[in-house]
Every structure is written in structure tokens, then in C-alpha cells.
Amino acid sequence: MNFSIKGVHTAIVTPFDKDGNLDWDSFEKLLDHQAKGKVDGVVISGTTGESPTLTVQEKLALIRKARAYLPESIQVMAGAGSNNTQASVEMAKLAVDAGADSLLVVTPPYNKPSLNGLKLHFSSIATATNHPICLYHVPGRTGQLLSAAELAELCAIEQVVAVKEASADISLFSRAERISQANYLSGDDFTFLGSLAVEGDGVISVVTNIYPQAFRVLYDAFKAGDNPKAARIHKALLPAIEVLFYESNPGPSKAILANKGLCQNYFRAPMVPVSQESYAHIMNVVEDTERALSDLGVEV
Amino acid sequence: MNFSIKGVHTAIVTPFDKDGNLDWDSFEKLLDHQAKGKVDGVVISGTTGESPTLTVQEKLALIRKARAYLPESIQVMAGAGSNNTQASVEMAKLAVDAGADSLLVVTPPYNKPSLNGLKLHFSSIATATNHPICLYHVPGRTGQLLSAAELAELCAIEQVVAVKEASADISLFSRAERISQANYLSGDDFTFLGSLAVEGDGVISVVTNIYPQAFRVLYDAFKAGDNPKAARIHKALLPAIEVLFYESNPGPSKAILANKGLCQNYFRAPMVPVSQESYAHIMNVVEDTERALSDLGVEV
Amino acid sequence: MNFSIKGVHTAIVTPFDKDGNLDWDSFEKLLDHQAKGKVDGVVISGTTGESPTLTVQEKLALIRKARAYLPESIQVMAGAGSNNTQASVEMAKLAVDAGADSLLVVTPPYNKPSLNGLKLHFSSIATATNHPICLYHVPGRTGQLLSAAELAELCAIEQVVAVKEASADISLFSRAERISQANYLSGDDFTFLGSLAVEGDGVISVVTNIYPQAFRVLYDAFKAGDNPKAARIHKALLPAIEVLFYESNPGPSKAILANKGLCQNYFRAPMVPVSQESYAHIMNVVEDTERALSDLGVEV
Amino acid sequence: MNFSIKGVHTAIVTPFDKDGNLDWDSFEKLLDHQAKGKVDGVVISGTTGESPTLTVQEKLALIRKARAYLPESIQVMAGAGSNNTQASVEMAKLAVDAGADSLLVVTPPYNKPSLNGLKLHFSSIATATNHPICLYHVPGRTGQLLSAAELAELCAIEQVVAVKEASADISLFSRAERISQANYLSGDDFTFLGSLAVEGDGVISVVTNIYPQAFRVLYDAFKAGDNPKAARIHKALLPAIEVLFYESNPGPSKAILANKGLCQNYFRAPMVPVSQESYAHIMNVVEDTERALSDLGVEV
């Protein structure tokens, strides 16, 4: 399939207002922030986007808005995964109609199908849409760890053009990438730079919600052969990457974005704002990180 | 809250016909099988019941049918969990209206809220229904392992009268049970007998789909002080318990039940029938198990 | 092989004086404490006995002393394992000559041989001594987790009459026990009572260094069919079992025993006394535990 | 401390003859192979060198020989770790006297001391020798996983100039390296290239026993900014890296080296030669790997 997913993508948060409705003003600000950061793509209604508590209509509205608002050069990927194949097929078709350039499809969480079941799931969505799919492998959330060989088998489906590999195991990442017909993007900000060294193709990131420019510069530097520069940015970002999981994601991300005026600090249950103690810690890390990034000439 | 969940409960499979519709004839047979096996309760639309691919209307129909069809002495518990608090609240209220005696509520899988988020989730459902809740702790599916102290905090919610503890870690089971205001039932057939020794209160079982009588006799023997008898049944069942996860659950269970004429071997994607090779292995184990159970005087 | 290892065994600490020498006065007190607690056996130079820092001559002296000092009814098991087969064979022969009734042989830690290597290791010791062996399976220390089938294969060696199973996974314990020609003893105090329910044969314990009587009564109660009594003692002991690993074992054990005047709080590096903060916490738990045990009529 | 450990180091196998004695002819061949491969250093009596079954005298003889035989430009590091501090101090002093340029000291396996115990262990060796130490962190063998902060605390000991980090977790590697005063070398061939991207300083490798030139070229290419070349070699080597752990290390390594005439396929128990089935598989992988490396212009 002639569609390539690579570079820096942001699994964007979904902004809510105090009544729990979608906050469109903030969404525009967040998209502006991404466009200014020159990311290659955004992911709508991923995990960081609180997809479990969005309705289908809301997801489609977000996709439409993102596609209409962003320049064409920025891809819009839409979360369409679930542990129900029929529901995923329907969501995928609607997402394509709404303008999504590609689909993010997680291996079914919780019910953890057999390999035959996984093949059926991905091929059903692929056949129904004939649209580019990014398979999402995140065993820490789904409860299912696939082997390199199993990942490669799923990548044999033509429409599976990319994998968001979030096992945080760079050995698995590399062994799977080697034998798969698909791009491999890191789904774990900690291992992004390491994954580039083993021919990873990019990242679907949480930290770029806040610092898109940082991973933009890191990625471009690495691709230009300037690994030392990439490594300096990586190290400057490490504390921020860590703090984004200080409480359940996207708690810390939204706290920071709200502090910057890019969204409001509201969530849909079961997600909640971080505690006051966590908040203070998070903001200290942010301050240190931004000083370190500024010292490296990265805009924050 | 004055409602007790204990003893032997079956997380019952959901039977489908070849068109993927609910197979009501088989459902009656399965309920008859449970009633004959003298279980203390059945769980409708649990994981084994392929809850991810059931509609709300189907779940309610199954609850109504089970409650109407089974004698009052057999409790009907309804799966009402998800990773969306509002959806769980709504499902819980409808399940209560449909006649569910209690609710099975898993810790939100995949998005894995913070402890504050978990408290909000369970207390929202508790407040909205004021109905008995069995908290389901299954880190292998949700990606979230709670500590004994965290489980105890959630059990402080009055309506949380029971925990289905499926970490398979009997040390955690016991440490949590000791400090919690709730009954603890094993959610892992392998560790059921061991959990009884540390004052576990029962089981929510997969293997009782097929052999309800076996765990009935095991439980009653243990409670009567006849641990040797309980242990003999436990050991006779071990190969069957193991084989039920030879492929993704409920693949093997339905294969066996279909073989016995109690349902048909149909699934909703992404779940699929076991492979032919697995099928042959499973049936060999079944044959050996039934011989062993018969030798112990357990009806199969 | 006609030798049975079962019941309550203590992996006894090795007492040192302030110069780091063996403290024979304390050793007698510790043995008296075990004899008074009516254990079925003691293990000399196990992990809790700081075996890595004992010389062969010291180990033999401890074995000789224990065998001579204790009544015949109390078995003396000697740690003879290592990751060097020849060294283990030599140590095993010397231990037998020194009077050990049986040998504790861990699966080689750190170098983690293949199954063929494991067979060679255990059969070499078995052949050289023709003495009863208790295989020690402790993946959390050795880095090697064996399957039930692998454990059963090693138990096919005639002299392997028992397994100290310390994976803390009662499912593995039970599946392995079912297919093995050997007694299975728990090597994990948390899961001891649970293991009895699935036909475990006893325990090799850390907590009995301090409270031998507690597990004596628990074991006898369970075997007499009084599981409720056994469970009450189990629950009273849980906080103490937990606190013994609050820092590296045997740090907390020796701190408590020293506080009781049964040994001195000295270690050989790299083991060290617990910190002052830990000490205070440990002693609080001890106080609560002893009150709870006394309430149950267990001598402490 | 003014001594730097970086680049490509080989944890060299220890060759035995059919009677189990050190095979000096093969040792010379192996050293020649390393020198020809232009490694930066060799490690004597590491895990791959079957250190658990070498006597102190044998270790010293190997160190003396390696130091005398190799050009000065190739560092000789000597394994001096154990779980007995006094024994490690003595071994370390002897190793220094025998000519070792630096010491490899693993965190005490099996007895897993507290952080205070670890500090005592490493500072005792550091003080006794005042010689450069490479701390070895290999939780899969020792049973002890340290945090980034704990690793950094141990690196505060002046003589700890390097860490062989073999958790295979590149996130931990990077977070620890960022806050430590020490070089970080990968101890896991799979993650070597990824670790370089996050400012890792080199590798202590198994696969370089066979293909030293490959990691030499990979390392130099990466440092010269030619990541694509480094990545091609990495990918060509992946199947070989994997196959070296197809059975317990160093089983496969010695099988391959023996096949090349560089040593004999003998081991000391509990290590054993690989099975015939494994042997055939290993040799197939070797053939494919060497073709791939040759295609890349790497000498094999």
C-alpha cells in the first residue's frame, strides 16, 4: 500500500470544558501548537485522547475538525481500535469518511484473541476500509505481548503499513521490524531515540503534546547524522517524559497544558486531575526541563 | 451492605448460533447444566461471556432470562464494568432493573486510572445503584496491578461486598483479604482451593461451565473439613483448568460444551474457534479428566 | 528412596559475633528455640543462613553441632548447592559425613544451565552421595524459572525426595507436585497454608526462626482438619512474614532475634543490619504480631 | 579516577580440553581472534567465561596470560564479583596483581543485599584495590533490579568508572546514565546499537567472541555519524545474537567457535554442550549470518 507513516506524531489529548463537553477553542489551540511544532501527524482519540470515554460522534467531529484545520502536510490518524471487531470496522469506516488519513488499531485489549483471532480482526478492518492501518502493540495496556514473528504475520496484511510498538523493549522492536513489511514507530517516548538507531521510523508520542518542537529537532538531527545533538535533547527531555506517567496518563499532560493555557484541566471519569502533591512535583520538573531545552536552543 | 456473595459461581459463556445471534436454546441448556450442578451463582456477560461483543440490549436480555429461568437460590451477577464510568453507571442501572442480584465491575482496563480515579469509578456505580458490587481485579487483562492496600481502600465503599481476585497471586489475595471489608473470591481456577485455605469465600470460575459439580463438591468438602477430598478433585481438574487457556478463553470452553451438545461452537470476532490441532489436544484432556472425576464419584 | 521430608523446617540464621566469627552460644540458643518450637527440621547454611559467606569448614562445623545438639527427631538438612557441580558434589559429600540427614540443592543460580545441565548437576550429587536431596526452586534468586514438567523431570532422580518450591506461584506448585515423584514443601511463608490445601507437604520457613511454634500449630491444625484455626494463625503471622523482607533477608530476622536475646545483630558483608528507620518499623510489627499470636494461644 | 572503559569488549569464553583442563592453545587462538578483530578489551572470567567453575588460580593464570599476550592497546578486565564481599576483595586484589587493567564486579547475585549492603560491597573492593571497577547490573541473573537512582548512588564511588548494564531496558539504561558519574556500556548485544544512540559508551559482548569485527565496524560507523551502516550490521547480526541464547550461554558460542577451530566444545558442569537438534539450528543461523555480514563487507 502506497502510504507512509513516519516521523513525529502526537497522540493528542482531548480537551474538555468544565461541563465535560468537548472544548473546541482549546482543540484549536492544541492543533496550532502541533502545527507550530511541525509534527508529521496527530492521532485523534488515542489512549492519551481518552478514547474510552468519547462517543463515536465526538470522535468523528474531532477527526473532521483536525483534518479541516491542519495543513495537508500533517497527517491525521484516527483511533479505531477496540476489542470488538464489528465495532472497530464500523468506527474505521466512519473515521475514513470523516477524513482520517490512517487508522490506529490496537490489538484487542482485555479479551486477548489468539493469533487467528488477531488476523481476523485486522484483516476485517483492512478489507472494509482499504485504508492505511497503524497496528498498536501496547502489552502494558492490552495484557497481550506478541512475539516478533506474530507481529510480522499481522504486518503481512497489506494495509498494515505501520506499527506503533510500545512494549518499551527495543530488542523486540528491532527483531520485529527486521522481519516485518511495515514501518515501526516507537510508542514509548523513553525509547524513541534508541529505536531510531535500529531503523525505527518515528514516534507516536505523548510528550509532544507539550514539546512538539523537541522531538522534531531530535528526529531531524538524528536523520541528519547528528546523533550527539539528538542525544542532548533526549536527555533534556527524560525527566519530562518520566513525569507524564507520574499519575495515570493523560493526567500530568493536561495539567501542564492547562498551565500553559492550551487547554483546561478537565477529564471524564474514570480519569481525574492529578493530586495537588503531584501537581507541584510535575511543575518543578517542567521548569527544569524548559530551562534545559532552552539551553539547547529548542523552542518551548 | 447486607448481601453476601460466596461459594461457586460460573462466568457463563454466551452461546451464539451460526449467524452470530444469541442462541437461546443453548442458553437454557447451559443454565440447566448450572442448576443441576448446584452452583451458587452465574455471571452474565463476564469476560468468558464475550462481553466486549455483546450489545447492551443483549446483555439485558441475558440477565432477564437467567433471572427468570434459574431458581431464586442461584444468584445472577451481571458484568457492568468498562473503562468509561458513565457507560458503566448506565449499564449497571439497567442491569439492576433487569433483575441482576449483583454487579461485576472490573477495574477500568487499558486506561488504568489512578487510585483517585478508581475510587470515583466504583463509588459512582455504587451510588447510582446502591446495589451489591463485586470488584474484579484481573491485572493480566487490565494491565493494572493493585496493591493489597489499594484493594482494601476500594472495598471501603459500602456496596463493594466482594472481590473477584484473579491475580493468581495467593499472597496478594490473602494480604488484601485480611485488611478488606469484603468477601474475596478466587477468579483463577488454579488457585481456588489454595484461596479457600486462607479464608477465601469462593470462586468465579471458567471450568464450572463444564464441570459445575466438581467445584461444588470440592467447595463443600473443604468447608466440611475434608481437605483431602477437596484436594483429590482439585488435582483431577488441573489438566482441564490448564487446557481451557490453551487458546484464548472461551475458545476451549465452547469447543468442549459444543462437543457435549450444550451450545454451538460459534464466536463473535475477534474471538474464534480453536484450531483443529488444539481441538484434538483439548478433547484428549477432557477424556482423561472425566475418567478421573468419575473415579472420584463426581458427576460429569 | 526411603526418606521423607515434610512438616515444618526452619532455614536457620547463622549467628556471628562482633568480630564476624561464628557465635556458638547464640547457635545453641537458636537450636533450643527450634527444639522448643517442635519443628521437624532445621536447614543449615541456607540462604537465610548467609551461606555465600560461610567457609566449607564453618558449614561442616554448624552441621556437626546441629546434629549433635538436636534430638534425633529433628532432621538436619544441609545447604550444598552452588553453580559449580564439582564444588557441590564435594560439599555434599562432606555434609553427609558431618551428619546431615539430607541436602538442600538449589538449581544453579546465575549461570542457569539448560535442562540437560540441570539433570547432570542433580544426578552428579545424587550419585556421589546417595543421600536424600531437597531441590530448591527459587527463581527470584536464581534467575531461572522451571516449568512443572521440568521440575518433574528432575524429581525423577531417585534421591530427589523433596522440592522446596519458592516461586510463590501456587498454580505452578500444584501442577508440578501433581506430576512429580517427590514431596513439595513451600519455600515461601506467604503461600505455605495455601500450599497445604493442594497437598503440599510442609514448609522450609524464614519466619519460624522467630515463631516456630506458630507454624507448628498451623500445620498440625490443618492436618487435623481444623482449617479455620490454621487460617487464624496464618493471618496473625502475615504482617511478620511481610516485614522479614522489608530489607534483604536475613536483616530483619536477625534484628528481631537479637532483640529477643537469641543472637547478635551481626552480619558478614555484603549483608548488613537493617537501617534504624526499618528497625523501628519492624519492631512495631513484631509487637502487633505477638499480641495477635498470644490471643490465639500460640506461644511466642 | 583517570581510566576510561569504552568501545567494544568481549566477555571471552574459557576454553577447556576434553579432560576439563584449561586449553591454552585455544586460549591463544581466541585472543588472536580478538586482537585481529580490534576489540578495545576482553573480559576474563565473566559469566560467558564460566567463572563459577574456575578456581582462583585458573582465573589468575588466564588474566596473566591475556595481559602478556595481548597488545597493550587492548584492555584486560577481570571478573572479580561474587556474593561474598571478602572473597571479592581478595579476588580483586589478586586480579590486579596479575595485571588486570580493571575489574568487573557484579551486584551480589542470589543474596541480593540492600542498598547499604551494595555500597559496602563496592566500596570495600574499591578501597582495597583503588583500581577501576566496572559494575555489572544483570537482574536476569542476580534476581535484583536496581533503579536509576540506586545505580547512580553506586557510581558515586570514585573507582566505579563504568557500568555494564544488562537489564535490556534501554529506558533504565538512559535514565541511569544521565545521572551517573560513570560510563555506561551495554551488557546486552540486542540493545547495543540502541544504547549508543542514548550516549552509551560501548558494549561488553557475547557475540564478539565470534564476530569481533562486526561490532568494531558497527561502533566505529556509529561514532562517525554513519548510523545507516551501523544499523545494517546490527540487523545482519540479530539472528546470531538471538541464537547465542538458544540454550544456556555459552553453550551456543562454544559450539560455533569449536566449529571454526578456535576452541573445543567442552564445558564444566553444570554447563553442557548444546543438544544435537540445537546444534543444527545454530549452524544454520551462523551460515545465514556470515553471508549477510560478508555482503556488508564485514570480515567473519
- HEC sequence for chain A: CCCCCCEEEEECCCCECCCCCECHHHHHHHHHHHHHCCCCEEEECCCCCCHHHCCHHHHHHHHHHHHHHCCCCCEEEEECCCCCHHHHHHHHHHHHHCCCCEEEEECCCCCCCCHHHHHHHHHHHHHHHCCCEEEEECHHHHCCCCCHHHHHHHHCCCCEEEEEECCCCHHHHHHHHHHCCCEEEECCHHHHHHHHHCCCCEEEECHHHCCHHHHHHHHHHHHCCCHHHHHHHHHHHHHHHHHCCCCCCCHHHHHHHHHCCCCCCCCCCCCCCCCHHHHHHHHHHHHHHHHHHHHCCCCC
CB A128 within 8 A of CB A122: no
B173: which DSSP letter?
Answer: H
Rounded Cα gap, residues D66 and D51, in angstroms: 15
- C272: closest chain D residue by CA: D117
> Do D and C touch (≥3 CB pairs < 8 Å)?
yes
Cβ within 8 Å, pair C227-B227:
yes
- D119: closest chain C residue by CA: C270
A217: closest CA among A289, A286, A297?
A: A297
Residue D255's pLDDT is 98
Closest chain D C-alpha to C132 CA, distance in angstroms:
20
Judge whether D148 is closer than 8 Å to chain A, CB to CB: no
Q: What does the pLDDT look like over D193-207, one tens digit per residue?
A: 999 999 999 999 999
- Candidate from B193, B199, B226 with C-beta closest to C198: B193
- Candidate from A168, A174, A230 with C-beta closest to D190: A174
The percentage of chain B sitting over the pLDDT mark of 70, rounded to a whole number, equals 100
Judge whether A281 is closer than 8 Å to chain B, CB to CB: no
Distance, CA of A205 to chain centre: 5
**CA dihedral for A53, A59, A63, A64, sign (positive or negative):** negative
Rounded Cα gap, residues D69 and D62, in angstroms: 10
* Over residues A59-68, mean pLDDT: 98
Chain B residues in contact with A268 (beta carbon < 8 A) = 84-86
CB C249 within 8 A of CB C47: yes
- Would the pLDDT of C218 be above 90? yes
Judge whether B238 is closer than 8 Å to chain C, CB to CB: yes
Going by DSSP bridges, is the β-strand pair C202-205/C183-186 parallel, antiparallel, or unpaired? parallel
A289 is in an annotated binding site: no
C neighbour chains, 3+ CB pairs within 8 Å? B, D
Instruction: Give D 22-81 residues with CB within 8 A of chain C.
Output: 47, 50, 52-53
Residues 6+ apart with CB under 8 A from B277: none
- Would the pLDDT of B1 be above 90? no
Coil vs helix vs strand at B187: coil
CB C158 within 8 A of CB B159: no
Coil vs helix vs strand at B246: coil
Chain C interface test: which of B167, B174, B219 (most C C-beta within 10 Å):
B174
- B114: closest chain A residue by CA: A248
- Candidate from A178, A190, A227 with C-beta closest to D197: A227
- Candidate from C197, C226, C242 with C-beta closest to B194: C197
- Candidate from D53, D141, D275 with C-beta closest to C112: D141
Q: What does the pLDDT look like over A80-129, one tens digit per residue?
A: 999 999 999 999 999 999 999 999 999 999 999 999 999 999 999 999 99
D neighbour chains, 3+ CB pairs within 8 Å? A, C
Chain A interface test: which of D179, D189, D192, D227 (most A C-beta within 10 Å):
D227
Q: How far is CA A154 from CA A114, A123, A134, A199, B56, in A?
A: 12, 9, 11, 19, 31
Q: The cell 522531538 sits on which residue? A: A215
CB A74 within 8 A of CB A39: yes
Rounded Cα gap, residues B171 and C81, in angstroms: 27
Cβ within 8 Å, pair C194-B197:
yes
- The CB-based long-range contact list for A52-57 (8 Å cut-off, 24+ gap) reads A52/B82, A52/B83, A52/B84, A52/B108, A52/B110, A52/B111, A53/A268, A53/A269, A53/A271, A53/B83, A53/B84, A53/B85, A53/B86, A53/B87, A54/A14, A56/A91, A56/A94
Residue D146 phi/psi, 5-degree rounding, is -95, 150
Closest chain C C-alpha to D2 CA, distance in angstroms:
27
**Bridge partners of residue A165, in order along the sequence:** A137, A186
Instruction: Give C 241-270 residues with CB within 8 A of chain D.
Output: 247-248, 251, 268-270
Residue B224 phi/psi, 5-degree rounding, is -85, 5
The one catalytic residue among C6, C136, C211, C266: C136
Chain D residues in contact with C52 (beta carbon < 8 A) = 82-84, 108, 110-111
Closest chain B C-alpha to A206 CA, distance in angstroms:
14
Closest chain A C-alpha to B11 CA, distance in angstroms:
14
Task: Indicate the annotated binding residues of D for pyruvate.
Answer: 48, 204
Rounded Cα gap, residues D9 and D202, in angstroms: 8
Rounded Cα gap, residues B283 and D261, in angstroms: 51
Going by DSSP bridges, is the β-strand pair B133-137/A160-165 parallel, antiparallel, or unpaired? unpaired
Cβ within 8 Å, pair D84-C53:
yes
Residue A1's pLDDT is 84
Rounded Cα gap, residues A50 and A209, in angstroms: 14
* Over residues D70-86, mean pLDDT: 98
If one counts every other C-beta atom within 10 angstroms of the C-beta of residue B99, the result is 15
Cβ within 8 Å, pair C197-B199:
no
* Over residues B247-265, mean pLDDT: 98
Q: How far is CA B200 from CA A7, A197, B4, B6, B191, in A?
A: 52, 51, 13, 9, 10
Residue D98 phi/psi, 5-degree rounding, is -80, -5
Q: The cell 506461644 sits on which residue? A: C299
Q: Which three cell numbers stand for residue B245?
A: 487457556
Closest chain A C-alpha to D53 CA, distance in angstroms:
30
* Over residues C227-236, mean pLDDT: 98
CB B13 within 8 A of CB B53: no
Chain D residues in contact with C112 (beta carbon < 8 A) = 141, 248
Q: What does the pLDDT look like over D128-178, one tens digit per residue?
A: 999 999 999 999 999 999 999 999 999 999 999 999 999 999 999 999 999
CB C105 within 8 A of CB C80: yes
If one counts every other C-beta atom within 10 angstroms of the C-beta of residue D7, the result is 20
Judge whether D11 is closer than 8 Å to chain C, CB to CB: no
A232: closest CA among A247, A218, A244?
A: A218
Establish, for the pair of chains B and C, how many residue pairs have beta carbons separated by less than 8 Å.
84
Coil vs helix vs strand at D59: helix
Where does the pLDDT of residue A173 fall: very low under 50, low under 70, confident under 90, or very high at 90 and above? very high
Judge whether B191 is closer than 8 Å to chain C, CB to CB: yes
Residue C90's pLDDT is 98
Rounded Cα gap, residues B163 and B160, in angstroms: 8
Chain D residues in contact with C47 (beta carbon < 8 A) = 110-111
Residue C1's pLDDT is 84
User: Cα dihedral angle (B31, B35, B39, B45), rounded to 10 degrees?
Assistant: 10
Residues 6+ apart with CB under 8 A from D266: D15, D16, D17, D18, D20, D23, D254, D273
Rounded Cα gap, residues D294 and D65, in angstroms: 32
- Candidate from D188, D194, D235 with C-beta closest to A195: D194
Closest chain A C-alpha to D129 CA, distance in angstroms:
33
B134: which DSSP letter?
Answer: E
Rounded Cα gap, residues A226 and A222, in angstroms: 5
Q: How far is CA A210 from CA A41, A71, D49, D300, in A?
A: 15, 20, 48, 47
Closest chain C C-alpha to B231 CA, distance in angstroms:
5
Q: The cell 477424556 sits on which residue? A: B287
DSSP sequence for chain C: ------EEEEEPPPPB-TTSSB-HHHHHHHHHHHHHTT-SEEEESSTTTTGGG--HHHHHHHHHHHHHHS-TTSEEEEE---S-HHHHHHHHHHHHHTT-SEEEEE--TTT---HHHHHHHHHHHHHHH---EEEEE-HHHHS-PPPHHHHHHHHTSTTEEEEEE-S--HHHHHHHHHH-SSEEEES-GGGHHHHHHTT--EEEESGGGT-HHHHHHHHHHHHTT-HHHHHHHHHHHHHHHHHTTSSSTTHHHHHHHHHTTSS-S---TT--PPPHHHHHHHHHHHHHHHHHHHHTT---
* Over residues A186-206, mean pLDDT: 98
- Would the pLDDT of A192 be above 90? yes
Residue D1's pLDDT is 84
Residue A88's pLDDT is 98
Judge whether B148 is closer than 8 Å to chain C, CB to CB: no
ipTM: 0.97
Instruction: Give A 202-231 residues with CB within 8 A of chain D.
Output: 222, 225-227, 230-231
Q: What domains lie within chain B, and their CATH numbers? A: 7-225 (3.20.20.70)
Cβ within 8 Å, pair C198-B196:
no
Judge whether B147 is closer than 8 Å to chain A, CB to CB: no
> Do C and A touch (≥3 CB pairs < 8 Å)?
no
Number of residues assigned to chain D: 300
**Bridge partners of residue D185, in order along the sequence:** D164, D202
Active site residues of B: 136, 164
Judge whether C86 is closer than 8 Å to chain D, CB to CB: yes
* Over residues A7-11, mean pLDDT: 98
Cβ within 8 Å, pair D117-C47:
no
What is the largest distance, in Å, between two alpha-carbon atoms of chain D? Answer: 51
Residue B102's pLDDT is 98
Chain A interface test: which of D186, D188, D190, D232 (most A C-beta within 10 Å):
D190
Closest chain C C-alpha to D115 CA, distance in angstroms:
9
Cβ within 8 Å, pair D121-C52:
no
Residues 6+ apart with CB under 8 A from C78: C43, C44, C45, C59, C63, C95, C98, C100, C102, C103, C104
**Bridge partners of residue A82, in order along the sequence:** none
**Amino acid in the structure at residue B249:** N
Establish, for the pair of chains C and D, how many residue pairs have beta carbons separated by less than 8 Å.
126
Q: What does the pLDDT look like over C88-107, one tens digit per residue?
A: 999 999 999 999 999 999 99
